[in-house]
């Protein structure tokens, strides 16, 4: 079967949480990135691949390199363009945009109209620290939307998680 790189040929491959990749696997990934070719498991011929690679991590890779947990050569191979996205707690102004986006996605998947969020609830969402970042926000929004009655026209109640976090 074709692997991820082969399937991503001429496209983009997302390597999520690259900082959690075992050291032994990093050498194999480096080889693929350098040679721009893969060999299928049990195969003998190299298959050329051309894919753009986007790698994400929540770890400080430079610290991981100092600890010997991440390969320096792989770090430089991956870090062609570096973007640091601050955690959601540092960009509260993004919360309303993300909430609206995830509510619209949920509504489209479920054949419903998007439901707005009351201003006091949005204020509480913006005050929350979001330790799980955007994934936590998306999960919370989907959970709240899923529990709304069919005739609901607005989200008026602060999710219980936020009330517990405040206490």
- Is-above-0.85 flag for pTM? no
What pLDDT, on the 0 to 100 scale, is given for residue 90?
Answer: 94
- Which of 18, 73, 9 lies closest to 37, judged by CA? 9
* Cβ–Cβ < 8 Å for 74, 26: yes
Q: Which residues pair with 87 in a beta bridge?
A: none
Q: What is the pLDDT of residues 108-145, one digit of tens each?
A: 999 988 899 999 999 999 999 999 899 999 999 999 99
Low-confidence stretches of the chain (pLDDT beneath 70): 163-167
Count of Cβ atoms closer than 10 Å to residue 19 Cβ? 16
What pLDDT, on the 0 to 100 scale, is given for residue 25?
Answer: 94
């Amino acid at each position: 079967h074709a692997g991820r790189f082969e399937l991503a040929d001429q496209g983009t491959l997302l390597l999520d949480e690259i900082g959690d990749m075992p050291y032994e696997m990093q050498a194999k990934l480096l080889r693929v990135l350098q040679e721009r070719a893969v060999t299928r498991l049990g195969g003998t011929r190299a298959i050329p691949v051309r894919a753009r690679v986007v790698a994400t991590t929540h770890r400080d890779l430079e610290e991981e390199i100092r600890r010997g947990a991440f390969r320096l050569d792989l770090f430089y191979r991956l870090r062609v363009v570096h973007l640091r996205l601050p955690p959601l707690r540092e960009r509260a102004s993004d919360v309303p945009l993300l909430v609206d986006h995830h509510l619209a996605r949920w509504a489209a998947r479920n054949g419903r109209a998007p439901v707005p969020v009351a201003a006091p609830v949005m204020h509480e969402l913006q005050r929350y620290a979001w330790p799980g970042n955007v994934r936590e926000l998306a999960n919370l929004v989907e959970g709240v939307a899923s529990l709304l009655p069919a005739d609901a026209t607005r989200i008026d109640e602060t999710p219980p998680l936020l009330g517990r976090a405040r206490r």
